[in-house]
Amino acid sequence: MPNSLDSLETSTLSGINWNILTALRGNPPKADARQGRWNMKVKDVIKKEVMTVKRSTSLRSLMNLFKDFHALPIIPVVDEEGLLIGVVALSNLMDILKPPQVKMLKKIPFAEIDETVFDLEPAPAMGELILADDIMETHFLSLDQEVSLAEAYKFMRLHRTDQFPVVDSSNHLLGIVGVFDIVRRMFKEKGII
């Protein structure tokens, strides 16, 4: 089996929903003297109270959720059984304001693109007509609750992302974990806080 980072990089390129535990099964991270107590799992630090939305959540409702964040959040989209089916990020909301040509040109390397969103005049009805299902990312990464904090941190650095949804083995959303959650736990373990 290739090492876990090779598997993770391949999964990103293929655009498939990927769960880090799949890459680590059969090749669990080994503890060493430097890790000591760092065999804690993601499930030990996740934020369990997470704002979620359904496919049918309107753009207006999404905007009201995003206004309370100071960082760049992701909002998980779940189905009726609590299965994670997508995520909505600020970039998804901004894409609504871009003309279709800009979206197509972004896929062409070295293309000059004028991404001015202030020239567009969106119709007020868009607030209710555009749903989470229309703009959510369906190709996203998540972490399994059983992944070690050390591996979760490596995963975040590899993908240059500060937070990921956390799921169980059935893909039920359990919460969100971010770099801050991991760093805070490290400070707590070291007696700093």
pLDDT at 24 over 50: no
Q: Are 149 and 178 in contact (CB under 8 A)?
A: no
Higher pLDDT, 55 or 125: 55
**Which tokens sit at 24?**
């680590």
pLDDT, tens only, 144-185: 999 999 999 999 999 998 999 999 999 999 999 999 999 999
Q: What are 173's strand-pairing partners? A: 167
Largest CA distance in the chain: 59
pLDDT of residue 122: 73
pLDDT of residue 63: 87
Close Cβ partners of 141 (under 8 Å, ≥ 6 residues apart): 11, 12, 17, 18, 20, 155, 159, 161, 164
Helix (H, G, I), strand (E, B) or coil at 129: helix
**Which tokens sit at 125?**
């009805």
Average pLDDT value for the chain: 76
The long-range contacts involving 98-103, CB below 8 angstroms and separated by at least 24 positions, are none
pLDDT of residue 113: 54
Bridge-based pairing state of the strands 18-19 and 163-167: unpaired
pLDDT of residue 57: 94
pLDDT grade for 28, boundaries at 50, 70 and 90? very low
Sign of the CA dihedral with 135 first, then 139, 144, and 150 last: negative
Q: Rounded to the nearest 5 degrees, what angle is found at the Cα of 1, between the Cα atoms of 139 and 143? A: 35
What residue ranges define each of the domains in the chain, with the CATH number in brackets? 4-189 (3.10.580.10)
pLDDT of residue 2: 40
pLDDT, tens only, 57-88: 999 998 888 887 756 688 999 999 999 999 99
User: Residue 65: which region, alpha, beta or left (left: phi > 0; alpha: psi -120 to 50)?
Assistant: alpha
pLDDT, tens only, 124-150: 888 888 899 999 999 999 999 999 999
- Cα 36 to Cα 145: distance, rounded to the nearest angstrom: 20
